[in-house]
Amino acid sequence: MKTLPMLRYCFLLLFAAFAGASFAQQELMLHQQTALWQTAATNPAFFPQEKRIALGLPSFGLDAAHSGGITFNDLLRRKGNRNIVDLGKAIDKLEPENEGYYGQRFETFSLGLRLPGKFFLQASHAVRISAVVNYPKTLAELFWNGNAPYIGQTLDVGFATTTFDWNELSLGIGRRFGESFSLGIRAKYLSGIGAVQTDDDHRLVSVYTDPDIYQLNLQTDYAFHSSGTITAIDTAGLGFELALNELKNGFSENSGWAFDLGMQLQLGERISLSASLLDLGGSISWKKNANYFKSQGSFDYDGIVIPGTDIINGTVDSLDFTAALDSLNDVLQFEKTPAEFTSELPTRVYVGGTYKLSDRWSFGAVLFHQNSARRKLTSVGVNAQWSILKWLTVGGMYSVNNQSATNIGLSVVATPGP
């Protein structure tokens, strides 16, 4: 068992949201790579032509993004002959309310088998993560600057998140009709690993620093669900500490289902169209080790909030920082209640098309839409592919979405062998 104070956990989520600013490209390119078996992850109607068996080795993909115009360079500052982390420039660009997103998919294996009668089967296992964090600019300012610049002011620092990871076992079947049309369907069994999900009806955390005695007053009406991640509270004395389980990738009683649908259509020799709906109806019911934590009241704290700039740059002892956060946690008095809850997977939609100009050149376009309770995103991309050799293809893509207009991707696909 490992322990981690609640406020430090909040800061880690906030920093992860900033780190996501350097990523914005969706899995648009993968959907257009029809020479790769892994493309089946975005469309269950896909199966490589003239192949009877397809085997996918472990693969990794991630998608991270942040709202606004923050770039990776905004996170660093030159000091002497080295770069140091400096969030000040990035914080200046924040909106009053901000969003960070992180999605990850680690596929351990995938297998495809072509059957008689134009049928084909698919099976795979993957470990996935979905995390959305919505937070106010004031939370970032308090973390980075400390509370000294805000004496006599009330800061609203409550944040919201839906963060969970899970195992995914899938089994799909598809069929080719004639020489031009394919349909596929896939069922996915979901086994939850861990989750933290805040309650939108209880998101208040305000901080006020008294100008006379420099005492912090915290007003809270804040609550969240957790399973597998934050599971226990130490109620010894007057304080508490949140306990984090070791994350294990084994299967659990927290489970659910999701479904994928897909199609492919060939129009003549040059034009191909594709569309897919992924994670339809996807949800995980958290029943084992599922709890509800709530802090509600007015609390006084005699310590100070140490600026994040001092923590990252090493000008404050890490033990002092831990002690400060632990003592601040002592006053919040979260109450724990066993309670089941549900996490819904974001639904994803792909629509793509490709025009084969020649044996070596092809051009395409793809539309992607993701929809969840906390996040909606639409991306549009155009791509080009050049087959240098029969087994070697290079490509590029430019895409825009409602968070960024400058997303460029490059690809190299090698398919040697029979």
Q: What are the φ/ψ torsions at residue 59 (nearest 5 degrees)?
A: -140, 155
Counting Cα atoms < 13 Å in the Cβ hemisphere of 199 gives 19
> What whole-number distance in Å separates Cα of residue 80 and Cα of residue 26?
36
Question: Tell me: the pLDDT tens digits for 242-268?
Answer: 344 444 556 778 999 999 999 999 999
> What whole-number distance in Å separates Cα of residue 352 and Cα of residue 347?
17
Position 215, amino acid = Q
Name the β-bridge partners of 283.
257, 344
Residue 395 has pLDDT above 60, yes or no: yes
> What whole-number distance in Å separates Cα of residue 209 and Cα of residue 219?
12
- The pLDDT score that the predictor gives to residue 234 is 40
Q: Of the ranges 197-206, 345-354, 389-398, which one carries the lowest mean pLDDT score?
A: 389-398
- The pLDDT score that the predictor gives to residue 23 is 44
Using alpha carbons, select from 106, 103, 109 the residue that is nearest to residue 122: 109
Q: Look at the block and give the residue holding tokens 């080795």.
A: 57
Q: Of the ranges 200-204, 236-240, 318-322, which one carries the lowest mean pLDDT score?
A: 236-240
Q: Of the ranges 143-157, 293-307, 322-336, 366-380, which one carries the lowest mean pLDDT score?
A: 322-336
Domain boundaries defined on the chain: 2-266+290-345
CB 333 within 8 A of CB 296: no
Residue 220 has pLDDT above 80, yes or no: yes
Question: Tell me: the pLDDT tens digits for 69-87?
Answer: 777 777 777 777 877 777 7
> What whole-number distance in Å separates Cα of residue 399 and Cα of residue 378?
10
Token pair in block for residue 277: 């709906």
The overall average pLDDT reported for the chain is 82
Question: Tell me: the pLDDT tens digits for 194-209?
Answer: 999 999 999 999 999 8
- The pLDDT score that the predictor gives to residue 308 is 61
Residue 357 has pLDDT above 60, yes or no: yes
> What whole-number distance in Å separates Cα of residue 231 and Cα of residue 224?
12
- The pLDDT score that the predictor gives to residue 2 is 34
Q: Which of 195-204, 246-255, 315-324, 397-406 has the highest mean pLDDT?
A: 195-204
- The pLDDT score that the predictor gives to residue 238 is 32
Question: How much is the average pLDDT of 87-96?
Answer: 87
The 10 Å Cβ neighbour count of residue 156 is 16
Instruction: Please write down the long-range contacts of 377-385, taking CB distance under 8 Å and 24 or more positions apart.
Output: 377/26, 377/65, 377/101, 377/401, 377/402, 377/403, 378/402, 379/26, 379/28, 379/407, 381/26, 381/28, 381/29, 381/407, 383/28, 383/29, 383/32, 385/32, 385/361, 385/411
- The pLDDT score that the predictor gives to residue 283 is 97
- DSSP symbol at 328: H
> What whole-number distance in Å separates Cα of residue 105 and Cα of residue 409?
18
CB 159 within 8 A of CB 132: no
Record the pTM: 0.84
Token pair in block for residue 215: 């005492």
Q: Which of 140-154, 162-176, 311-325 has the highest mean pLDDT?
A: 162-176
- The pLDDT score that the predictor gives to residue 316 is 53
Is the dihedral angle over the CA atoms 278, 286, 203, 135 positive or is it negative?
negative
Position 41, amino acid = A
- The pLDDT score that the predictor gives to residue 305 is 62
Question: How much is the average pLDDT of 142-155?
Answer: 88
The 10 Å Cβ neighbour count of residue 363 is 15
> What whole-number distance in Å separates Cα of residue 305 and Cα of residue 143?
8
